Amino acid sequence: METPLPGVAGADSLLGEVEEAEAALRAAADRALDGPASFDAVIAADQKIEPRDMMPDAYRAGLVRQIAQHAHSEIIGMQPEGNWISRAPTLRRKAILLAKVQDEAGHGLYLYAAAETLGVSREELDQALLTGKQKYSSIFNYPTLSWADVGAIGWLVDGAAIVNQVPLCRCSYGPYARAMIRVCKEESFHQRQGYQSLYVLAQGTPEQRAMAQDAVDRWWYPSLAMFGPPDADSTHSAQSMAWKVKRFSNDELRQRFVDMCVPQAEILGLTLPDPDLRWNDERGHYDYTSPDFDELMRVVKGDGPCNRQRMAHRNRAYADGAWVREASAAYAAKQQSKRKELVTA
């Protein structure tokens, strides 16, 4: 018997924002500025910068940094949940989890393709991840200890990802904004599946309920840390916001996430592990305890509970996939020479 899913308060309005951003993207294409416009004029007019447009080197480099890290996060992010595919409690849950993890691979591919439009190759991006030159989100360096972690990741990690990524649907770089629209629609679905899975556990036996609570206790602060350092310590925010890549600061988005999660936790009947979490009438927001930002920086620098394991697994998978890359390159070369023969015949 399927448990009916109560409303995911706040999630519908985020999906509405994605749809508005999609409509705005279409409208922007219709009223593109006449003739060649300067980079600053395009940004000021809230139009999109496209791959062949002139752009400052630092804008290009900043985008490569963020989009590549984002793509790497999607790919590394397959590991913690992938850990439970073979141990999902039912065939239905296994099929759902398989599809979700596969979606994350797809997100990685959209994002690598967006980064490639900026003049970097896939091989360079792969090497930057494999050698540790480029990073990925801190959140994926934490272990998935129980089945409930899959639900907590869907609810909290995908939830934080949507809050962070919905504004990126209005980012000034066209290929990134377009990729984000598709990603956000899928992430929104992922969040609902995590929420539903946790809801079932929270309504279950005392052991299942305790398992769900334990997962929420462990994933809450790492999810808050996903939004990055506090605004005062954020090195890229000011420039990124001036270029309309980022639309809101790290702390603004973190607050938005907290405000969204509190009513959702009440529906789930689970407690967020923060004794100081309470509504502040004056601010119109929940007050909350910040995550440990020293821990965030330690994890980003490579010293989290699973950094070594994640990178070792990724390097192994890359090496194991060498024959697939060779075979597809050989096939592409064969097709190209066939096309050449046809043209010259």
Centre a 10 Å sphere on the Cβ of residue 162 and count the other Cβ atoms it contains: 25
- CA atoms of 227 and 291, how far apart (whole Å): 10
Shortest Cβ distance from residue 206 to ligand BYC (Å)? 29
151-170: contacts with ligand BYC (CB under 6 A): 157-158, 161, 164
Side chain identity at 172, as an amino acid letter?
Answer: S
Residue 11 or 35 with smaller CB distance to ligand BYC: 11
Which residues are within 8 A (CB) of 52 and not within 5 positions of it... i.e. 6 or more apart?
none
Give the number of residues in contact with ligand BYC, rule: CB under 6 A: 28
Q: How many residues does the chain have?
A: 345
Residue 37 or 295 with smaller CB distance to ligand BYC: 295
Rounded (10°) angle between helices 174-202 and 11-30: 170
Task: Report how far apart, in Å, the C-alpha atoms of 295 and of each of 93, 254, 264, 284, 316 are.
Answer: 33, 17, 27, 29, 27
* Sign, Cα dihedral of 203, 190, 307, 168: negative
Residue with tokens 């409690």: 89
Residue 150 or 265 with smaller CB distance to ligand BYC: 150
Residue 141 or 146 with smaller CB distance to ligand BYC: 141
**Per-residue mark of binding to ligand BYC, 2-41 (x: CB under 6 A):** ----------------------------------------
The number of angstroms, rounded, from the C-alpha of 93 to the middle of its chain's C-alpha atoms is 22
95-114: contacts with ligand BYC (CB under 6 A): 104
Contact (CB, 8 A) for 136 and 130: no
Q: Which helix (H) or strand (E) holds 278?
A: strand 278-280
285-314: contacts with ligand BYC (CB under 6 A): 300
Shortest Cβ distance from residue 42 to ligand BYC (Å)? 21
Q: Which one of 89-97, 130-138, 283-291, 316-324 is the stretch in contact with ligand BYC (CB under 6 A)?
A: 130-138
Shortest Cβ distance from residue 31 to ligand BYC (Å)? 28
Residue 21 or 52 with smaller CB distance to ligand BYC: 21
- CA atoms of 159 and 188, how far apart (whole Å): 7
**Per-residue mark of binding to ligand BYC, 204-243 (x: CB under 6 A):** ---------------------xxxxx----xxxx--x---
Residue 22 or 74 with smaller CB distance to ligand BYC: 74
Shortest Cβ distance from residue 222 to ligand BYC (Å)? 9
* Sign, Cα dihedral of 301, 305, 308, 312: negative
Shortest Cβ distance from residue 336 to ligand BYC (Å)? 34
Alpha helices in the chain (DSSP H): 11-30, 39-44, 57-76, 78-82, 91-116, 122-130, 148-152, 158-165, 174-202, 206-225, 237-242, 250-268, 293-298, 307-320, 322-344
End-to-end CA distance of the chain: 64
Q: Is 138 in the site for ligand BYC (CB under 6 A)?
A: yes
Shortest Cβ distance from residue 29 to ligand BYC (Å)? 24
Binding residue for ligand BYC, selected from 74, 116, 126, 149, defined by CB under 6 A:
74
Shortest Cβ distance from residue 138 to ligand BYC (Å)? 4
Q: Which residues lie near ligand BYC (CB under 6 A)? A: 65-66, 69-70, 73-74, 77, 104, 135, 137-138, 157-158, 161, 164, 225-229, 234-237, 240, 246, 250, 300
